[in-house]
Chain A
């Protein structure tokens, strides 16, 4: 009833090519942005920012990056954690070694370094694909884990191998309080989300999808696989690298290579698969599912007043979480994003289904 596009005519190409062609979507999106930018900072308690929202935003960004590679271009990667680590350590090195380096520039340079490494490890994708490629990117994970553990230069000769950053500011504004950190990450996510959405809608995104769907056919119609695959690796690693830098700088403040180990790669891959392959929206859903749900499950016994052993609560969380993953994958193999679009389809017809 409310969600109906009757009478919304597009009379120009511009109007037809909008990201949100339906007026209601635009309104909801605008409201959501106002809510996220203006309301959330005022009402949420500190715990929410630090433990839920900031990790959610940063991991959404990383999932977005991975989704470009896995969802849009069809190149399975298990090296996401490694590319995050490259972003974080590179940004750290720019920050410590160059006096007066602006924070945003070091974060973006972290992304650039991740791009270089990502493209390097993307080269095998020109010859191999599918599971074989997954194993090749696994090599990136192990190699990069190893180098940040072993090569002291990367950690500025820290005796423990752990690095930390402090005194972050942008144009003189400090990034200290949870609200500032939240807004900082949100700004990154909005900009990158918009860029990614436009990339996948444009000719580059179509090339990626053509390669994903059938690379031989794509090559026949004139798409260069080398260019398409490597550009997907580049864009994906750039976003993932920036997300890694944010994870280290903004969320942890101090980190060791274990923060970006293979578990992180799997976690991100699950986010993309559960959220929805080849969907920008899906990246956010996936991140929300993987970040927020365990915390909620962990807290549920307390909220409902059931005194429960912490160890038992932790085990229960794992069990319920695992069961939910299986449930969602069976009910909707295309991820939460597909559930969302199905819901929207139903809403369009409501209340007169046919």
Chain B
């Protein structure tokens, strides 16, 4: 294995189009990329991986992280947990050690949550993974930056309530939840149940077995029970299937609301105009073709033919999520360099400090080209999420348009949920809450 390492390193460098192999002597910050380019989520996970890779190239073109170049190496998981674990093991020690992992799969995140503390590698799980890992006091290595499932669930219900004219209007109504029958889908349920108990609406739970293309039975149930609204926690091939079934069932798309993994272009393109009126809550950003960062990627990365995927998808919803994920990964390292030495390669442990002390002000975001895309993100030892803002966008038959103002998840509701769940986890694992002194480490 060891003899092959230099070869692999060189190849990876060439593969990542990072200029000449002479770079091998340069300082590089290694960002492993777990991709889902095959398997049941391929249409959605591919743009994410492309956006991630392209933004890293843009960072290098902009001079790296205070001079340190980024290096991306991909490993294909096909959304399978055991393959994801294998990829993690394969990549975590390469190129001087992994900076941070972003598995893009809740199942893989659950498995890696057990491993990351031993290996001292942080995990960024923007919008997925364990919702309770927002509690940094228990989950030292997990970072569900800028949103987790409960934020999505809470804000989508807020949006529905607002449209109806207040929470009290939801009393006695019935809301169907179509979800992937796995941790990915079930993680949404606690917040829905909490809100249902608070406001007196009824939940109709509609689980769909993986990978999610078998939905006839649950849409029959929708037809029978006629819920007032349907909330979808779907991902990959499951979303277009659900929308087609809804069209076939005659369920109005205006009453269907997706969470942020159920509202991207690959989900709706096939259905096109028939899906008009379908909305989904977004983790701040949506499709952002006009943003500065996208223009930069188009001119500097795709312009000279260095782009990772097709040019047309640049700026689409999931491509943007890859870009945002890469930006957060890079900015954490930049923050860590402020403390551990500018222009140095950060270890996973040092990068973790950066993610915990992230302070992305609006000015910083605007300078990076994220004006209008993101709002400020600021994390702390206690809060590993950093921001709980969302927006809702609606499909107009060909593209997404914004349908709501900024929504903020109800912290008073979510914080106790997160804390209780994290405490339960700590109890099972016999962990103790990090003492305040540990926050500085």
Contact = CB atoms under 8 A, between A and B. Distances in A.
B317 to A, nearest CB: 20
Interface in A47-63: 47-48, 50-51, 55
Nearest to A306: B11
A46 interface: yes
B249 interface: no
Contact of B110 (A50, A162, A298): A162
Interface stretch (B2-10, B222-230, B340-348, B380-388): B2-10
Interface stretch (B85-93, B330-338, B355-363, B367-375): B85-93
Interface stretch (B74-82, B261-269, B433-441): B74-82
Contacts of B111: 252-255
A251 B118 CA distance: 14
A160 B187 contact: yes
Contacts of A159: 186-187, 189-190, 421
Interface string A152-174: 00001001111010110000000
Contact of B11 (A167, A295, A305, A309): A305
Interface stretch (A208-216, A277-285, A310-318): A310-318
A149 interface: yes
Interface residues of A, number: 43
B183 A252 contact: no
Contacts of B38: 311, 314-315
Contact of B186 (A161, A166, A253, A309): A161
Interface in B108-135: 110-111, 113-115, 118, 130
Contacts of B15: 307-308
B86 A295 contact: yes
Quick one: which of A55, A96, A259, A310 has the most chain B CB within 10 A? A310
A21 interface: no
B81 A252 contact: yes
Contacts of A255: 81, 110-111
Q: Which secondary structure dominates where chain B touches chain A?
A: helix
A51 B90 contact: yes
Interface in A220-260: 251-259
Nearest to A259: B81
Contact of B93 (A46, A162, A257, A310): A46
A256 B37 contact: no
Contacts of B130: 160
Contacts of B106: 160
Interface in B47-96: 74-76, 78, 81-82, 85-86, 89-90, 93
B186 A156 contact: no
A149 B264 CA distance: 28
A310 B190 CA distance: 36
B43 to A, nearest CB: 12
Contacts of B398: none
Nearest to B187: A160
Contacts of B35: 310-311
A51 B85 contact: yes
Contact of B8 (A257, A303, A315): A303
Contacts, number: 118
Given A307-B14, A310-B76, A166 B85 contact: no
Interface string B407-434: 0000000000000010000001110000
Given A305-B10, A311-B38, A46 B430 contact: no
B182 interface: yes
A302 B86 contact: no
Interface in B170-202: 181-183, 186-187, 189-190
A151 to B, nearest CB: 13
A258 B210 contact: yes
A130 interface: no
B76 A311 contact: yes
B428 A310 contact: no
A47 B429 contact: no
B189 A46 contact: no
A164 B37 CA distance: 28
B12 interface: yes
B85 A307 contact: no
A145 to B, nearest CB: 8
A306 B11 CA distance: 7
Nearest to B129: A160
B89 A314 contact: no
Nearest to B106: A160
A47 B1 contact: yes
A116 B190 CA distance: 34
B174 to A, nearest CB: 21
22 contacts: A47-B89, A48-B1, A51-B85, A51-B89, A159-B187, A159-B190, A160-B130, A162-B107, A164-B114, A256-B110, A258-B81, A258-B182, A295-B86, A299-B90, A302-B7, A302-B12, A303-B7, A305-B10, A305-B11, A307-B14, A311-B38, A314-B78
7 closest pairs, A vs B, by CB?
A311-B37, A253-B114, A160-B183, A307-B15, A50-B89, A314-B76, A162-B183
Given A47-B93, A258-B107, 8 more contacts: A45-B2, A47-B1, A160-B130, A253-B115, A254-B110, A254-B111, A303-B7, A311-B37
